[in-house]
Structure 1
Amino acid sequence: MTDSRPILGRVAAPPEHESTSGVFYFWVDKDCGVERTQIVTTTSKVGDREVKFVGIVQEVYRRSRQKDIGEEAARFDGRSGEKPPPFDSEGITYAEVAILRTTPVAHTPPTEESEVYLATPQEAREGYGVDRMEHKLPVGLLKNGGEQTVGAAFIDLDFLLGANGGHLNVNGIAGVGTKSTFLLLVNWLLIEEAKRQAREAVSRPGNLQVVPVVFNVKNFDLFFIDRWNRKYRAKEDQHRSEWAEMGYPAPAPFDLPTFRAPQLKGERVAIRTGNRTPAEVKPYSWSLSDIIEMGLFKYLFSEDDISTANLGGLVNDVEEWLTSGPPDAPKLRTADNAPQTFQEALDWFKSNKEDKKFFGDYQGSTKSSFFRRLKYIVMEGDGVLRRYDTQGNPLLIPEKGQTAPWVIDLYGLQRTPSLQRFVVAAVFHQIQAIQSKPGHGALKYLITLDELNRFAPKDSHDPITQKLETVASEGRSQGIILLGAQQQASLVKPRVIENAAVRAVGRSGTLELGAEVWRFLGPSARSAAAQLQPDEKLLYLPSFREPMLAKIPFPPFALSESDAELPDAPPGRSSGPREQDMF
């Protein structure tokens, strides 16, 4: 069958540009143009088989017929203002192509003079194995050169949600990396996917159920995701058309998210979060009894030396003495005049630190270190850690699927980073306890956490870092999916980064891209990552031979208070049924 598409060029394999099983070159027809990131295809007779190759243009080169730069200048007698010579210099454009897929599978290059064509949308999807994805999620539009796209860009949910891998990690510099935008967009899309499955297969036990938990780490930006984005509204027709191409004809802000923020010191309400009213934002806090009952005592101590035998042992011994009841239902001890509040605990320790009945043979320096750290976090955290109250308002994460995220503020605790890390560990600890119960197999907890370098620093070994490492390495089997981000992956614990099966790269610094953690990206991909536009992401899955360049649609939800429409604007509504997949 003759291909009716225009031929872009033909495969060539001269010396120094030999084709391999991973890369081939082709010269470009002088009447055609080829751009980096375009997806192309060619078919070759290899032995007794006809093999179809789909690849992505890694780089485009132009070579003059002149032998050196001197000959180029001599044509104009070295004067740029001279009229061009009567005979054109001419030259050749050629492209380097990384092979994405061969059909049938063949570890061999195409043969020279094979015709090269621009891939169709179907061929482009096949190049990334979308036709093989049993469960797929559109996250943008597949780029095909500088301005063109070629249908939706998909990721494989089996790699994101735990079947074949788990977790998503996003890297990008501040501002143009648009990490939070992409993380929230993935949350929105997964909520919509859960709704779609519920509509289309009501009685199916394996339907996706999600509990999105989003930590707010910058200003109070994420406290307005239920309002329309003014910039989206300004160009709504354009943005809506991109969403429609992905299969979502009517995107909207998040419906009725739950907002939680730190409790004010001496008050029963949350801190101010922009123009949100107290009724819209519920406070969170823990009393001493909450800490003991939820097994969170050791997370109050975030320094690395908590893992040493001395201080770590003392922390465990104090927690054990404060605890009564069976292991599966711990309670705060009430006998023996045990302290019932954080302030009483400080007073009790100060009065009894020399009593060997409580503290055995621990050195005075160890006890002083323990007291100093406990006092610091209680004093600094007064409000979130209820110093004088016997009851707090602990975060109680839902145990069934939700159609809107829980937004938990950490920004209000910016003066006390150790308290921020405690809140994160407390949430992960609780979710692990929930998922250990029977009957939660289909439930997926989506934990969105930016600035991972704060919570799992590369050189840290404290209990909170260990908790995130455990979630990264084992969480997918428990239905806990980490949607994490950072400006520099090289500053984050390697296990947290390496266990993310789906990687998304926004605009990143060249120094960062030279770090060992980015070795999986080839030179062309690293070069592209340093030049990405704010609405572009390089997506990498284990099933991709090369990263996928996607254009990310503009979000309908506000990403800060300044982006948000006024409260009396029409509220967001669910997008309704998703259009049929486009292929």
Structure 2
Amino acid sequence: MSAVADETGEAVGRVLGTADATPLSFWTAVAPGSYLQLDDVVVTRRDLPGREPVTIAGVVTQVRARHEGAQFDSDVFAIADGTLPALVQEAAEITTTRVDPELYVPPSPGAVVRRATGDLRAAALHFDRMEKRVPMGTGRDGLPAFLNADFLDGSRGAHVSISGISGVATKTSFATFLLYSVFRSGVLGGEAINAKALIFNVKGEDLLFLDHPNARLDDDTTRRYAELGLPATPFPDVRVYAPPRAKDSSGAPDVSSRLTGIDSFYWTLAEFCEARLLPYVFADADDERQQYTMVVHAVTAHLARHAQPADGGISVDGIRLGSYPDLVDFVVARLTDEETRGTWAGSAVNTGTVNAFARRLIASKKDLARLIRGDLAERRPHAINTAESAQVTVVDLHNLPDRAQRFVVGVTLKTEFERKEKAGTAKPLLFVVLDELNKYAPREGSSPIKEVLLDIAERGRSLGVILIGAQQTASEVERRIVTNSAIRVVGRLDPAEASRPEYGFLPPAQRQRVLLAKPGTMFVSQPDIPVPLCVEFPFPAWATRPSEAGQAPSATLRSIVQSADPFAVVGGRSEDEIPF
């Protein structure tokens, strides 16, 4: 960082002499006719005897104004009337972000403080040290702010934790913008074309149109994207999966607004047994110490050993089962039969434990019957596989009940993580965007989903699996997941939540500001910068709801059709009928 801080940039004040100045923070008196606002970047210089000058840069974290010369609160009226002399003085607290060279000395009282611009601003915020910079929005000064991709792609760290009030904090919007920026900014180089994203859509059909341009996009938003070095276009390569409609033997996807480029996902009974997916039926974060979980694992092992594919369903002990309800009834019958209980669950299991398992299993029939099928085995590929899908794979869950959502999330993450483990390499990267993380990985209790998410948080970096998790309350998410997130993002927060220790990385003034943050404003903490940056990200260039969806690019539709079953119906028409 250049040591000419006192020669360039607008002079905005001088280091205050009536408040302690330390190497890590100091106050500056704002000069008449000037101003400083929160998040402004400033720089000053300290001359040292026999050594080169030290340049100290920082970010404004608090601003105050007061009457100097007033003694009583009521003096403000006399001062306003001009009958009592006083001087209005503003002062700003500066939190140091960089010292160059690294001689940690306090700035001298009276030293000129200047607004940092150009290279000095980039140096103050450590942008000049970032070899791979991801645009994440603009700062309060309207200039681009960047994220160090080394702490996102696993080079030096990984994972993102986004917290904020539902519907106000725009958590999902920021997550998708960050993903878009990673893919389109060029930071991944040649790896960008192979990098994948897996997004779980849990609220409405808002994320089903990422490949459609936003009809509300205007020239000002397009300009903001250009200032960030990004094109204002939708995601170019998207594939959407949705569950089959309930009680629909055709397996048609259960969506109402999107008609093209969408496939059904489900698991066959044979896959359910062979892949040992039964524990994910009970993935509701119950305490693993409950005894019925012994029955879960025993039954899972028995089905894996004895279930055989048979005419679209499975055959167990010579009996053909054609649907998930059939399988549930068969298992319950075997467990409640005194003669077969020991074979299925072990001799030490008592009737009460079996009944606890049976009640929960029977309750799952309604929720999971359309996801675990015996009648669709011969249909086109139905498994969610990001390696063979588009660059962005969206899995729609919004029409599923809670138990079914947990099952899909747990099984999909387990499958993808195991696939990356077998590959044994971190490339290509897989970004996983999961909202409502406090539901899937709560602080208390244990579940198969939570164990998978912990594995991703602790080992995913080395395997190229990056979790972008969003939640309303970080205080209710498993600590190890939050602490393993190199990037922490906060939007609008509830006052009680903002006081939690999980947000200790926010300075006191920012803790107050998150209570007022408007949609589109986020506070981003990253290891490179000591102070979280306040950024505003642009309005999405892709549709965020059906009413905003413009026509998808022809190239996108063509790639979707060609990657799917050639005989599939697309929006009620065959491929030959699509007007390219």
With the length of structure 2 as denominator, give the TM-score of the two structures. 0.86
Change (3 A) 1:262 1:120: same
> Residues 453-468 of structure 1 correspond to what in structure 2 (within 5 A)?
453-468=438-453
Runs of 5+ consecutive residues of structure 1 not aligned to the other structure: 199-205, 327-331, 575-583
Distance 1:571 1:183 in 2: 26
Change (3 A) 1:26 1:285: same
What is the match of residue 579 of structure 1? none
Distance 1:299 1:197 in 2: 37
The question of 1:495 aligning with 2:480 is answered yes
What is the match of residue 288 of structure 1? 269
| Cα displacement string for residues 426-445 of structure 1 (whole angstroms, at most 9, x for unaligned residues) | 11111111111236431111
Alignment partner of 1:8 out of 12, 18, 43: 12
8 Å contact kept, 2:61–2:507: no
User: 2:422 aligns to what SS in structure 1?
Assistant: coil
What is the match of residue 569 of structure 2? none
Change (3 A) 1:345 1:176: closer
What is the match of residue 303 of structure 2? 322
What is the match of residue 540 of structure 1? 525
Distance 2:8 2:353 in 1: 80
Query: Is the deviation greater in 158-167 or in 297-306?
Result: 297-306
> Residues 340-489 of structure 1 correspond to what in structure 2 (within 5 A)?
340-341=321-322, 342-353=324-335, 354=338, 355=340, 356-361=342-347, 362-386=349-373, 394-399=382-387, 404-413=391-400, 416-438=401-423, 440-489=425-474
Change (3 A) 1:456 1:304: closer
Amino acid at match of 1:244: A
8 Å contact kept, 2:205–2:398: yes
The question of 1:269 aligning with 2:256 is answered no
User: What's the offset of the Cα at 1:412?
Assistant: 1.0
What is the match of residue 204 of structure 2? 219
8 Å contact kept, 1:305–1:312: no
User: What's the offset of the Cα at 1:370?
Assistant: 1.7
The question of 1:127 aligning with 2:112 is answered no
Distance 1:572 1:537 in 2: 34
Distance 1:228 1:74 in 2: 56
User: What's the offset of the Cα at 1:255?
Assistant: 2.0
Distance 1:66 1:363 in 2: 82
Change (3 A) 1:28 1:260: same
| Cα displacement string for residues 245-283 of structure 1 (whole angstroms, at most 9, x for unaligned residues) | 1112x3201224111111122322334423222x53211
With the length of structure 1 as denominator, give the TM-score of the two structures. 0.86
User: What's the offset of the Cα at 1:195?
Assistant: 9.0
User: 1:143 aligns to what SS in structure 2?
Assistant: coil
The question of 1:175 aligning with 2:175 is answered no
| Cα displacement string for residues 138-171 of structure 1 (whole angstroms, at most 9, x for unaligned residues) | 1111223xxxx23x21111111111211111111
User: 1:527 aligns to what SS in structure 2?
Assistant: helix
How many pairs align?
540
8 Å contact kept, 1:63–1:92: yes
| Cα displacement string for residues 402-424 of structure 1 (whole angstroms, at most 9, x for unaligned residues) | 763111011010xx212101111
User: What's the offset of the Cα at 1:557?
Assistant: 0.4
Distance 1:300 1:512 in 2: 31
Query: Is the deviation greater in 502-511 or in 3-12?
Result: 3-12
User: What's the offset of the Cα at 1:208?
Assistant: 7.2
What is the match of residue 317 of structure 2? 336
Distance 1:108 1:418 in 2: 58
User: What's the offset of the Cα at 1:182?
Assistant: 0.7
Distance 2:365 2:376 in 1: 12
What is the match of residue 576 of structure 2? none
Distance 2:364 2:344 in 1: 22
Distance 1:7 1:193 in 2: 34
What is the match of residue 240 of structure 1? 222
Change (3 A) 1:228 1:430: same
Amino acid at match of 2:386: P
Amino acid at match of 1:397: N
What is the match of residue 75 of structure 1? 78
Alignment partner of 2:152 out of 150, 160, 163: 160
User: What's the offset of the Cα at 1:175?
Assistant: 2.6
User: What's the offset of the Cα at 1:71?
Assistant: 5.6
Alignment partner of 1:33 out of 15, 21, 35: 35
Amino acid at match of 2:46: S
8 Å contact kept, 2:159–2:467: yes
Change (3 A) 1:73 1:179: closer
What is the match of residue 203 of structure 1? none
8 Å contact kept, 2:152–2:159: yes
What root-mean-square deviation, in Å, do the aligned CA atoms of Structure 1 and Structure 2 show?
2.7
What is the match of residue 581 of structure 1? none
Amino acid at match of 1:318: V
User: What's the offset of the Cα at 1:325?
Assistant: 9.3
The question of 1:522 aligning with 2:504 is answered no
8 Å contact kept, 1:259–1:407: yes
Amino acid at match of 1:84: G
What is the match of residue 202 of structure 1? none
The question of 1:192 aligning with 2:181 is answered no
Runs of 5+ consecutive residues of structure 2 not aligned to the other structure: 308-312, 558-580
Query: Is the deviation greater in 426-435 or in 133-142?
Result: 133-142
Change (3 A) 1:526 1:46: farther
| Cα displacement string for residues 448-499 of structure 1 (whole angstroms, at most 9, x for unaligned residues) | 1111122112223111122212212221111111111112212222222221
8 Å contact kept, 1:54–1:100: yes
Change (3 A) 1:190 1:294: farther
Alignment partner of 2:62 out of 59, 62, 66: 59
What is the match of residue 297 of structure 1? 278
Distance 1:319 1:159 in 2: 39
Change (3 A) 1:46 1:419: farther
What is the match of residue 229 of structure 1? 214
Change (3 A) 1:4 1:420: closer
Identity %: 26
Change (3 A) 1:522 1:180: same
User: 1:225 aligns to what SS in structure 2?
Assistant: coil
